[in-house]
């Protein structure tokens, strides 16, 4: 567990953002230190995905106010690929299907882009395959999926495992999991959580975005934040998640209006 | 007089002089040429008031008084292999400026009885062998450029695959232009007869050895006999100052199958016509195409599939990728004749525009004269998917690489399906180069 003295990895200050021309985030403040796992919970349309998209740099999301610092640097000034290379990873809620591009080609290109940025030697095809096989075991993913087009015809569970596979390959410093639990059965959830937990460490932070408390039985957070109406309306320890499970979001949403 | 008329008169005059210098040839051959020349003289170069040529203005082609090549330039095998890779895995037959060059060819490992011949040699030694075949599939009245090709009929490739033979290797026919002289025209001719129950793959490849302005006017006639299966790949990877017109005419007989794949990556003005007659019951064909242009290229593809008899099946997938101010045209006609019941035809033409200045015109055309048929067609014009771009960038690929990868992914449906896989890999790399970015390594 990180202590209060650890330097901040991510600082979000008074963040306002538009998505699809609509004002979604109305002043988010969040501090995440290395080694911590933060859960962001909230009802549908509370702004959870917009927050993850702001952090990853989706061009269609517009920040209108506030700032985001990643290890002291202005994150919003970086392109999505620069953020990825600096160590930010977003596990997509809806991983995109890309016909005609093999998963293995994509994973190798991504890994080598990041290794190159870190000043590490790029992996050749054989080295990559060996590494990918090792990591695929961790997420119990069929090796055949390496040779298929990216996410094309993958089941919901396979897509999410592919996201976690990418995360374990790229070894980010800040991982954001956007509703990675949605659409997963309990076995898949356990496997995905296992992959995430294997990556926890003192140098790494995670933001786990979820609607349900269920995932947090497997990935136990240090802090829990409730997002409602584009603001964080309550923060607490992991017990807050259990309270939400019991009471729902209604009692907090009422306070977020206006 | 307009440019089109001037060009017609130029070619008619050149033909008269050229034919007069070849007095000792068989009468049928002289007549074939003469009639083709007359047909060309009557129609001339097509103008844009004709529906078939609406989007393709031939004035730039007509303005250049192209002449036949005269010399036989020195060409090294290395220079050739640089532009016509992968040559190693195939039996290779090379033509330079329209003339067969045995010293550059490598007819290895041909299966028993398979013949690959120079048309010029065949016309000199046993002309009766091709008398019944030449010019009977392509209609010079419908295709003025096919008429012009036939008027200058001289050398080319004749491929004869006997009954029941399976080709052990693809046959790779390379038509290379030397660029030794500027403003040259060549009229490559290919005749493929795939005998009953035979199997094989043939590549017809057009390349430039130097980026000189030129004009390639090709005709490819193909007969796929009863129960045969032929895979045909037509590659156009000439330089960006080349004018290229090609007519493929194929006849597919009972229970035979043709799969023809046209890949167009070069040329300033390209017009490819492919027409397939499913002449007997149970004949089937697959027509795939990929055309990718940049700069000011105009890439025009016309297809015609004629379902003449029952139980025929056709599948068409033509994909266009256009960047810069390039323009693409696809017009796909499917005719189902009266009585051609149980015809099953599908046509699809998705297009990808990479820049605001690029344009494509897509026009499917179904003419159905039978009632118990299944015909579907669709076309689309789109840009690179923003969600997919963001997904790739969020994994560390820069925007250019991400665009490249998505573009290659779009092309893969055609290139990965080529019956000669090594060629698909080579053309995927070339596609990235031609679209303006270096390839980041071949696909796995």
Please report residues of B whose CB lies closer than 8 A to that of A113.
395-398, 401
* Per-residue tokens: B310: 């029952």
From A257's Cα to the closest Cα of chain B, the distance in A is: 32
Task: Please identify, among B247, B280, B313, the residue that sits at the C-terminal boundary of a domain.
Answer: B280
Which among A170, A68, A165 has a CA at the least distance from the CA of A113? A170
CATH number at residue A163: 3.40.50.300
CB contact under 8 A, B393 and A149: no
| Length, in residues, of chain B | 444
- Determine, yes or no, domain membership for B58: yes
The answer to the question of residue B312 being in a domain is: no
Describe chain B by its helix, strand, coil percentages, rounded to 5: 25, 35, 40
The predicted complex's ipTM stands at: 0.96
**Does A1 fall in a domain?**
no
Give the closest residue to B187 by CA, choosing from B95, B82, B92: B95
Whether residues B255 and B391 share a domain: the answer is no
| Contact residues, chain A, for B397 at CB < 8 Å | 81, 109-110, 113
A98 vs B: CB within 8 A: yes
Chain A residues within 8 A of B394 when measuring between CB atoms: 56-58, 80-81, 83-84, 89-90, 92
Comparing C-alpha atoms, which of A21, A34, A18, A80 is closest to residue A207? A34
Euclidean distance between CA atoms B45 and A182, whole angstroms: 63
Nearest CA in chain A to B414: A100
Model confidence, pTM: 0.92
- Of the candidates B99, B144, B145, which has an alpha carbon nearest to the alpha carbon of residue B119? B99
- What 3-state DSSP class applies to B36? helix
Smallest CA–CA distance, residue B414 to chain A, in Å, is: 10
Q: Is residue B197 part of a domain?
A: yes
> Are A98 and B388 a contacting pair at CB < 8 A?
yes
Residue B337 lies in a domain: no
Closest residue by Cα to residue A95 from B395, B299, B284, B153: B395
> Count of residues for chain A?
258
Say how many CA atoms lie within 13 Å of B27 toward its Cβ: 0
At B91 the pLDDT is 83
Distances, alpha carbon A101 to alpha carbons A85, B388, B389, B428, in Å: 21, 11, 13, 12
Alpha carbon distance B393, A242 (integer Å): 36
| A100 shares contact with chain B (CB less than 8 Å) | yes
From B394, B398, B405, residue closest to A101, measured CB to CB? B405
- When CB atoms are compared, the residue of B390, B406, B411 closest to A80 is B390
Is A102 a domain residue?
Answer: yes
CB within 8 Å: B409 and A99: yes
A96/B387 touch (CB, cutoff 8 Å), yes or no: yes
SS (H, E, C) chain A: CCCCCCCEEEEEEEEEEEECCEEEEEEEEEEEECCCEEEEECCCCCCHHHHHHHHHCCCCEEEEEEEEEECCEEHHHCCHHHHHHHCEEEECCCCCCEEEEEHHHHHHHHHHHHHHHCCCCCCCHHHHHHHHHHHHHHCCCCHHHHCCEECCCCCHHHHHHHHHHHHHHHCCCEEEEECCCCCCCHHHHHHHHHHHHHHCCCCCEEEEEECCCHHHHCCCCCEEEEEECCEEEEEECCHHHHHHHHHCCHHHHHHHCC
> Are B392 and A106 inside 8 Å of each other by CB?
yes
Up-side HSE of residue A147: CA atoms within 13 Å toward CB?
A: 6
- What's the confidence (pLDDT) of residue B80? 87
Pull the structure tokens for residue A158: 């396979």
Alpha carbon distance A79, A102 (integer Å): 24
Residue A3 located in a structural domain: no
A93 touches chain B (CB under 8 A): no
Q: What is the pLDDT at residue A258? A: 39
Residue A204: its pLDDT value, please? 95
Structural domains in chain B (count): 2
Amino acid A132: pLDDT? 96
Q: Which domain covers residue B19, as residue numbers?
A: 3-280
Domain-ending residue, one of B280, B299, B333: B280
> Collapsing DSSP states into helix, strand and coil, what is residue B122?
helix
Minimal-distance CA residue of chain B relative to A118: B396
| Same-domain check for residues B136 and B262 | yes
Q: What count of Cα atoms within 13 Å lies in the side-chain half-sphere of residue A23? A: 9
Closest CB from B387, B390, B408 relative to A100: B408
For residue B397, tell me if it sits in a domain: yes
Task: Note whether residue A144 is domain-resident.
Answer: yes
Exposure pattern of B368-379 as b/e (b: 16+ CB <10 Å)?
A: bebeebebeeeb
Q: Write out residues in chain A with pLDDT < 70, as ranges.
A: 1-6, 254-258
Contact A170 B394 (CB under 8 A): no
Residue B104 DSSP label: G
In tens, the pLDDT along A13-60 reads 999 999 988 999 999 999 999 999 999 999 888 999 999 999 999 999
Measured between CA atoms, the residue of chain B closest to residue A56 is B394
- Low-confidence stretches of chain B (pLDDT < 70) are 86-89, 109, 437-444
Q: Residue B325 domain-assigned? A: no
Cα separation, B161 vs B224, whole angstroms: 10
User: What does the alpha-carbon distance between residue B141 and residue A213 come to, in Å, rounded to a whole number?
Assistant: 75
Q: Does the residue B404 lie in any domain? A: yes
Judge whether B30 lies within some domain: yes
Do residues B228 and B87 both lie within one domain? yes
């Amino acid at each position: 567990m990180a202590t209060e003295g650890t330097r901040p990895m991510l600082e979000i200050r008074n963040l306002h953002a538009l998505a699809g021309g609509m004002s979604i985030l109305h002043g988010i403040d969040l501090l995440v230190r290395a080694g911590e796992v933060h859960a962001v919970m909230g009802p549908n349309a509370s702004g959870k995905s917009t927050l993850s998209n702001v952090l990853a740099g989706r061009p269609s999301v517009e920040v209108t106010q506030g700032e985001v610092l990643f290890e002291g640097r202005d994150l919003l000034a970086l392109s999505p690929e620069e953020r990825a290379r600096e160590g930010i990873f977003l596990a997509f809620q809806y991983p995109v299907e890309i016909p005609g591009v093999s998963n293995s080609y994509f994973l190798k290109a991504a890994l080598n882009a990041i290794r190159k940025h870190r000043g590490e030697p790029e992996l050749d095809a054989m080295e990559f395959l060996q590494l990918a096989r090792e990591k695929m075991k961790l997420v119990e993913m069929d090796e055949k999926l390496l040779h298929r087009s990216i996410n094309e015809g993958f089941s919901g569970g396979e897509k999410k495992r592919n996201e976690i596979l990418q995360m374990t390959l790229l070894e980010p410093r800040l991982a954001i999991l956007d509703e990675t639990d949605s659409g997963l059965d309990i076995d898949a959830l356990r496997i995905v959580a296992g992959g995430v937990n294997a990556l926890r460490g003192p140098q790494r932070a995670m933001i786990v975005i979820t609607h349900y408390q269920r995932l947090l039985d497997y990935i136990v957070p240090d802090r829990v934040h409730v997002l409602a109406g584009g603001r964080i309306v309550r923060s607490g320890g992991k017990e807050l998640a259990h309270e939400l499970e019991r009471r729902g979001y209604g009692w907090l949403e009422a306070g977020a209006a206006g | 007089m307009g440019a089109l008329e001037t060009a017609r008169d130029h070619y008619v005059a050149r033909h008269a002089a050229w034919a007069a210098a070849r007095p000792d040839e068989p009468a049928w051959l002289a007549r074939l040429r003469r009639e083709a020349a007359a047909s060309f003289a009557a129609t001339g170069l097509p103008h844009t008031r004709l529906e078939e040529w609406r989007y393709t203005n031939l004035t730039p082609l007509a303005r250049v008084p192209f002449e036949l090549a005269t010399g036989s330039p020195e060409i090294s095998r290395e220079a050739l292999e640089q532009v016509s890779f992968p040559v190693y895995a195939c039996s290779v037959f090379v033509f330079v400026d329209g003339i067969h060059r045995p010293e550059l060819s490598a007819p290895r490992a041909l299966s028993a009885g398979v013949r690959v011949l120079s048309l010029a040699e065949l016309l000199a030694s046993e002309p009766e062998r091709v008398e019944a075949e030449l010019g009977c599939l392509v209609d010079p009245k419908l295709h003025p450029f096919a008429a012009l090709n036939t008027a200058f009929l001289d050398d080319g490739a004749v491929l004869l695959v006997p009954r029941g033979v399976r080709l052990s290797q693809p046959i790779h026919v390379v038509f290379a232009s030397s660029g030794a002289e500027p403003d040259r025209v060549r009229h490559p001719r290919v005749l493929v007869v795939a005998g009953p129950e035979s199997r094989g793959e043939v590549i017809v490849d057009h390349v430039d050895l130097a980026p000189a302005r030129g004009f390639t006017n090709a005709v490819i006639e193909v007969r796929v006999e009863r129960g045969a299966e032929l895979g045909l790949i037509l590659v156009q990877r000439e330089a960006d100052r080349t004018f290229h017109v090609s007519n493929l005419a194929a006849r597919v007989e009972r229970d035979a199958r043709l799969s023809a794949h046209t890949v167009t990556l070069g040329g300033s003005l390209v017009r490819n016509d492919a027409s397939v007659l499913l002449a007997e019951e149970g004949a089937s064909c697959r027509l795939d195409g990929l055309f990718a242009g940049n700069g000011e290229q105009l890439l025009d593809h016309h297809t015609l599939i004629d379902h003449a008899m029952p139980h025929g099946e056709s599948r068409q997938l033509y994909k266009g990728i256009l960047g810069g101010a390039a323009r693409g045209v696809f017009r796909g006609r499917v005719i189902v004749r009266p009585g051609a019941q149980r015809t099953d035809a599908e046509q699809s033409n998705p297009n990808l525009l990479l820049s605001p200045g690029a344009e494509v015109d897509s026009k499917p055309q179904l003419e159905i004269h039978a009632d118990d048929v299944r015909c579907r067609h669709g076309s689309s014009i789109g840009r690179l998917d923003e969600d997919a771009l963001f997904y790739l960038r969020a994994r560390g690929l820069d925007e250019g690489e991400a665009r490249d990868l998505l573009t290659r992914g779009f092309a893969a449906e055609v290139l990965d399906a080529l019956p000669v896989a090594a060629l698909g890999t080579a053309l995927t790399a070339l596609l990235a180069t031609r679209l303006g970015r270096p390839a980041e390594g071949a696909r796995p």
